[in-house]
Chains A and B, each alone.
Chain A
Amino acid sequence: MSRIETPAALEELRKDILSKRDPDKRTITLCSGSACHATGSNLVAASIEEEIQKQGLSDKVDFRKTGCHGFCERGPIIVIHPEEICYLQIQPEDVPEIFSETIKENRIIERLLYTDPGTEEEIRNESDIPFYKNQQRLIFGSNINIDPKNIEDYFALGGYAALAKAISQMTPEEVLEEVNKANLRGRGGGGFPAGRKWEGSRNAPDDIKYVIVNADEGDPGAYMDRSILEGNPHSVLEGLAIGAYTIGAHEGYIYVRQEYPLAVENVHIAIQQAEERGLLGENILGTGFDFTVKVHQGAGAFVCGESSALMTALEGKAGEPRPKYIRSNIKGLWDRPTVLNNVETWANVPLIINKGADWFTQMGTEGSKGTKIFSLVGKIVNTGLVEVPMGMTLSDVIYKIGGGIPGGKKFKAVQTGGPSGGCLPEDKLDLEVGFDELTRAGSMMGSGGMIAMDEDTCMVDVARYFLDFLTDESCGKCVPCREGVRQMLKILTDITEGKGQEGDMELLEELSEVAKEAALCALGQTAPNPFLSTLEYFRDEYEAHINEKRCPSLYCKELIAFYIDPEKCSACMSCLKKCPSDAIIGAKKTIHVIDQEKCTKCNTCFEVCPTRFRAVQKISGEPVPPPIPEEERIIAKKGSKE
């Protein structure tokens, strides 16, 4: 592969690549992101390759393994171009049929299409599926057309044109002005304006400066940064190089979790290919700008997503936050001015340079511009990664894109912002997504985790869960976090186990204040949020747990009991056979009774009791009715009790 010597040569190369590609040629793209990998996309890929070989179609059919398409709920996903026929949940067995029917005969296999649950209509094109139709996929949309291991796919889409433009036609001041005008805010959690961060570093007198990609994504259930790095690593490298040019840095780092093997692999390949083409390294595109990037694999501590802890870890020390009051853009890595932005923030930069701040600011709310990628998980029909314009309502994200709550259950809350975020109730669903909007409501944007919760979710337990996570991930350096959050977890655990006492909520509030006001880093300062937001919106649930020893969601094991309504039990033996702890007493034609001593509250009987009977009851906060006397348990005739 030869070096690209000038910006004009880059454009020539792009045209050359496109001219060699026949837009009408059959191309099969297969989502090969981590989620689809987990559902077997590698096996599907092998079948496709085998089929192409077997049928001698290598001249006629192109096959591309791309990054994440986002609709993870229905992976592995195949899209056949140029028609853009989208097949979902593909298994290796489906592949021969796809070739014999669709590739050869142009016939659609209807059973592999998406069926709209409302209209029962089958939808052929990926972009027409409601999950995609309501998104605006500026950052994430390219994934579906790119083999991340092939830089030419990125060139074909105009890749590195923004870098070329920045370093050959713009001064660093002009780039900075554009980023400032775009009001690009950090997608990693804080929402700090990227331009202001860059400006601070640019103006700092040091001659050595650094730029860093924060790819230490660690919020439970969040994988948007992972999917960008896996699926479109060059977009991040390009943004990083533009940032380096702007502040005057010549070295950059990608701090990526080692638990993301595919991201690590693809980013290494991308760096190597960009170096070979002269887009990283010395004298980039002949402009005299030098910039190299190194990859650093994090060892899995959540706190290393915090900027000062990340830099400490990068320096080779234990990853703990630093107690400094000077911003890292002035004194960061090795005490040099350092700009740290997260993956998604960097990936936005090429777009802003290519299309301009005026275009970028057309989307969004007053204070939040552009789009945001959310990892939509939990009790939601369409689990996956979604990219929406800032300002879309939570309701639209959850219902129009997410398809609502499965199983006919009622929506209860949406948790945004990761462990430091908060839970918002139904009456906040009209809220527009944006940094300030979510913060004002008591939650936060964070890096974009969005967990939907249904009526069966206990909000006290949700707070307990996140504090458990944070207690485990606290570095242990400062007292308010190490000891304070630990005590909060103990109290919350007690409440969910029916050991809550009067005064618990007040003590939790006191501990929250100390963590919020006096903890060393953002992890500790925001650790009380899961408690504070659930207390604000679901105080009645705390009160029920503490005062009535009742879990209103019938979730907390220590506070619930199962019993079989003798009026409804038809002695069908379903629960009796399935009970894993032999806690159900009964026989054919003998009403079943649960032995409360043996019951482990595993929920199995409740789930298997046929819906026509609904005899198994879950109760909380009330005594279990006594079992009916043995002599009254016999059912004389089928269907009627005497």
Chain B
Amino acid sequence: MSKVLLNIDGSEVEASEGMTVLEAAQTIGIKIPTLCHHELLEPYGGCRVCTVEAETNGRTKLVVACVYPVEQDLVIRTRSEKVDRIRKMIIQLLMSRAPESEKLIEMAEEYGADKDRFEKEASFCIHCGLCVRYCAEVKKLSAVGFINRGAKREINFIPEIAAQECWDCKECFPLCPTSALQAAYGFTEALTSSSPPFESKAVE
């Protein structure tokens, strides 16, 4: 694979074609924050905290590092006033949903985010989709999925699949940056095992 040269935060980086900016930054130890990224999974571009400034041919735009492919002579700035402002707002928005998430609290400190900027409406899930995508892409099971859309979107285990597959797996649990996944799982477990009439219907 051919090599391209780009510049990240003032350092020259040699990367292979097809790499993302995030991967290229990792090779020289530059940390770009992420919430929905996982190296085993397809880039998702959902949380947008990895937003960086990308300059090509003298034009600067904001892109997400987890998706944007490296190109020759690309100039990346992983921190700038604007980038930080956007990350800060994203963290504030998510903290209204998952105020207890340790990862978010840590990021809030780094970016000076006001944890109470928005009214708390804790749904715990921040819709990073790690569990959903891990189950679909790595385990090929799709035992957990999204239902509904927009602000009403939730993760949900599919009882019929979960009852067969999840008991011994639970590989998605450590991926969850909040407590939402285990709560959703607990709910499904309650539905499918401790309630006999439902179980007989759900697991045929």
Contact B85 A513 (CB under 8 A): yes
CB-defined contacts of B150 to chain A, threshold 8 Å: 471-476, 482, 486
> Given that A323-B64, A324-B67, A474-B150 are known contacts, is A483 also in contact with B47, CB under 8 Å in the complex?
no
* A478: Cβ under 8 A from any B Cβ: yes
Per-residue A-contact encoding for B53-82, CB less than 8 Å = 1, 0 else? 000000000111011110000000000001
Within the assembled complex, what's the spacing in Å between the Cα atoms of A471 and B151? 7
> Given that A474-B149, A487-B118, A517-B82 are known contacts, is A323 also in contact with B90, CB under 8 Å in the complex?
no
Who on chain B is nearest to A323 by CB? B45
Q: How many pairs of A and B residues are in contact by the CB < 8 Å rule?
A: 95
Contact B43 A483 (CB under 8 A): no
How many Å from the CB of B42 to the closest CB on chain A?
Answer: 10
Contact A520 B46 (CB under 8 A): yes
How many Å from the CB of B36 to the closest CB on chain A?
Answer: 9
CB-defined contacts of B48 to chain A, threshold 8 Å: 478-480, 518-520
Within the assembled complex, what's the spacing in Å between the Cα atoms of A482 and B94? 10
CB-defined contacts of A511 to chain B, threshold 8 Å: 89
The one of A474, A476, A487, A513 that contacts B93, using a Cβ cutoff of 8 Å: A487
Contact B62 A483 (CB under 8 A): no
How many Å from the CB of B174 to the closest CB on chain A?
Answer: 22
* A514: Cβ under 8 A from any B Cβ: yes
Contact A483 B69 (CB under 8 A): no
Contact A482 B86 (CB under 8 A): no
* A484: Cβ under 8 A from any B Cβ: yes
Within the assembled complex, what's the spacing in Å between the Cα atoms of A475 and B129? 13
* B7: Cβ under 8 A from any A Cβ: no
* B173: Cβ under 8 A from any A Cβ: no
Who on chain B is nearest to A481 by CB? B150
Within the assembled complex, what's the spacing in Å between the Cα atoms of A474 and B46? 13
Contact B68 A484 (CB under 8 A): no
* A582: Cβ under 8 A from any B Cβ: no
Contact B67 A483 (CB under 8 A): no
Interface residues of A in 434-478 (CB under 8 A from B): 471-478
Contact B46 A479 (CB under 8 A): yes
How many Å from the CB of A478 to the closest CB on chain B?
Answer: 5
CB-defined contacts of A474 to chain B, threshold 8 Å: 149-151
Who on chain B is nearest to A324 by CB? B67
Contact B96 A482 (CB under 8 A): no
CB-defined contacts of A326 to chain B, threshold 8 Å: 69
Within the assembled complex, what's the spacing in Å between the Cα atoms of A134 and B148? 46
The one of B69, B85, B149 that contacts A475, using a Cβ cutoff of 8 Å: B149
CB-defined contacts of A514 to chain B, threshold 8 Å: 85-86, 89-90
CB-defined contacts of A490 to chain B, threshold 8 Å: 119
* B198: Cβ under 8 A from any A Cβ: no
Per-residue A-contact encoding for B147-164, CB less than 8 Å = 1, 0 else? 011111100000000000
Contact B146 A318 (CB under 8 A): yes
Per-residue B-contact encoding for A302-343, CB less than 8 Å = 1, 0 else? 000000000000000010000111100000000000000000
Within the assembled complex, what's the spacing in Å between the Cα atoms of A518 and B50? 10
Who on chain A is nearest to B54 by CB? A325
Contact B69 A518 (CB under 8 A): no
Within the assembled complex, what's the spacing in Å between the Cα atoms of A511 and B86? 9
Within the assembled complex, what's the spacing in Å between the Cα atoms of A475 and B152? 9
* A301: Cβ under 8 A from any B Cβ: yes
* A510: Cβ under 8 A from any B Cβ: yes
Contact A476 B151 (CB under 8 A): yes
Contact B153 A479 (CB under 8 A): no
> Given that A318-B146, A483-B97 are known contacts, is A323 also in contact with B118, CB under 8 Å in the complex?
no
Within the assembled complex, what's the spacing in Å between the Cα atoms of A366 and B104? 50
Within the assembled complex, what's the spacing in Å between the Cα atoms of A602 and B51? 47
How many Å from the CB of B112 to the closest CB on chain A?
Answer: 14
Interface residues of B in 107-145 (CB under 8 A from A): 118-119, 126-127, 129
Within the assembled complex, what's the spacing in Å between the Cα atoms of A475 and B96? 19
CB-defined contacts of A325 to chain B, threshold 8 Å: 63, 67-69
Contact A482 B51 (CB under 8 A): no
How many Å from the CB of A141 to the closest CB on chain B?
Answer: 39
CB-defined contacts of B47 to chain A, threshold 8 Å: 478-479
Within the assembled complex, what's the spacing in Å between the Cα atoms of A503 and B15? 45
Contact B46 A478 (CB under 8 A): yes
CB-defined contacts of B49 to chain A, threshold 8 Å: 479
Within the assembled complex, what's the spacing in Å between the Cα atoms of A518 and B47? 10
CB-defined contacts of A482 to chain B, threshold 8 Å: 127, 150-151, 153
CB-defined contacts of A513 to chain B, threshold 8 Å: 85-86
Contact A323 B151 (CB under 8 A): no
CB-defined contacts of A520 to chain B, threshold 8 Å: 45-46, 48
Contact A484 B153 (CB under 8 A): no
How many Å from the CB of B160 to the closest CB on chain A?
Answer: 19
The one of A472, A476, A483, A519 that contacts B94, using a Cβ cutoff of 8 Å: A483
CB-defined contacts of B82 to chain A, threshold 8 Å: 517
Within the assembled complex, what's the spacing in Å between the Cα atoms of A303 and B145? 19
Interface residues of A in 482-506 (CB under 8 A from B): 482-484, 486-487, 490
How many Å from the CB of B200 to the closest CB on chain A?
Answer: 30
CB-defined contacts of A487 to chain B, threshold 8 Å: 93, 96, 118
Within the assembled complex, what's the spacing in Å between the Cα atoms of A476 and B64? 17
CB-defined contacts of B127 to chain A, threshold 8 Å: 476-477, 479, 482
CB-defined contacts of B62 to chain A, threshold 8 Å: 517-518
Within the assembled complex, what's the spacing in Å between the Cα atoms of A508 and B15? 40
CB-defined contacts of A301 to chain B, threshold 8 Å: 149
Within the assembled complex, what's the spacing in Å between the Cα atoms of A326 and B45? 14
Within the assembled complex, what's the spacing in Å between the Cα atoms of A480 and B67? 17
Name 20 A/B residue pairs within 8 A (Cβ), A-sorted. Answer: A301-B149, A323-B64, A323-B66, A323-B67, A474-B150, A475-B149, A476-B127, A476-B149, A476-B152, A478-B45, A479-B46, A479-B90, A479-B93, A482-B127, A483-B151, A484-B89, A486-B150, A487-B93, A510-B89, A520-B45
The 4 closest A-B pairs by CB, nearest first: A323-B45, A476-B153, A483-B93, A474-B150
Interface residues of B (CB under 8 A from A): 43-49, 51, 62-64, 66-69, 82, 85-86, 89-90, 93-94, 96-97, 118-119, 126-127, 129, 146, 148-153
